[in-house]
Every structure is written in structure tokens, then in C-alpha cells.
Amino acid sequence: MVELLCELLDPFNFEDAPFVEVMVGHLEAGLIDMLNGHMGMDDLKKISDAIEENSTSVSSHIMKAMEHAIVREFEEISDRVVELDSESTLNDYMGYLGALALRVGIPKSIVERAEKAVKERIEAIEEEATIAEAPEVGRGKRENETFDDTAIQNLFAPLLSL
């Protein structure tokens, strides 16, 4: 979306094309709405990367919306990590936090607090995994049943009468 927006803004690509300003306005509004809504950290990172790569082309409104989305991610860290239940996803999340923090100048103390919340969530997942009992395959309780010829005949008799 960011790349398309930048292509539309390039005067050499769409010279004299009708409605370019209207399309740019709609794309900017859509991108800002996306940034103002809830999105996954990996999506925020990708969009943020694209905005940074094209920072000279995008509007200040988009830059502010990106910054606000990143700050909100740190403010709502506890709510965000509770939604995640994979250690590898949480480890990726922690890496994204560091990169995004540098991008908008999040103080180190806030980054450390966010990383602590992610680590606590990882520990909780590990604890849940150790508490869960493994199923016992092949060790089930065996009942002593005698299954003689009469029992087999009674079992299959209804099928044979068809």
C-alpha cells in the first residue's frame, strides 16, 4: 500500500492522470485507518519498514500515525502478549519491539518493561506446557473381558440377518 502510494505521488509515473489526488487521498486515509486500528506486530513492522524506506514521499500524517501505532504497541504490551501463545512468535515479537523502539525513540526503560512482559508470557507458556500431563499411550487400563464364540455371534448376528 505504501509502495503504491509512493508510485502515485511520483510525477513521472502518472503525469496528467485523472483522479490521482483523489486516489492518493483515499490511500493515505486507508493507511492511517490501518495504523490507528489493531494489527499484528509483524504487519506493523512491515508497514513501518515501508514507511521508513519512503519517508521522503509519505505525508507527515502517515508518519505521525505510524509513530502513534508503535507507541500504542508499547502502551498495550500486556494485552498484546496475552493474545500470543507461541514462544517463537513471542521471541519474534521481542525483536520487533527493539527495532520499532529505535525508530520512534521509545525510552530504554519502557523497552525493558515491554521485554519483561514478553519474557513473563514466555515463562507462563513454558509453565503451562510442563503442567499439562502427557497422554499415556499403550498404558491404558485394561479391562478383563472374555470374548467367546457366543459373544462374537451375538455381536454380528444383527448384521448377518440383513
CA dist 113 → 67, 70, 120 (Å): 19, 15, 11
Provide the angle, in degrees to the nearest 10, between the axes of the packed helices 87-104 and 41-53: 30
pLDDT of 73 higher than 80: yes
Task: Select from 113, 39, 28 the least CA-distant residue to 69.
Answer: 39
Query: What one-letter code names the amino acid at 95?
Result: G
Q: Quick one: how far is CA 38 from the chain centroid?
A: 10
Highest mean pLDDT of the ranges 3-12, 95-104, 142-151: 95-104
pLDDT of 14 higher than 70: no
pLDDT of 4 higher than 80: no
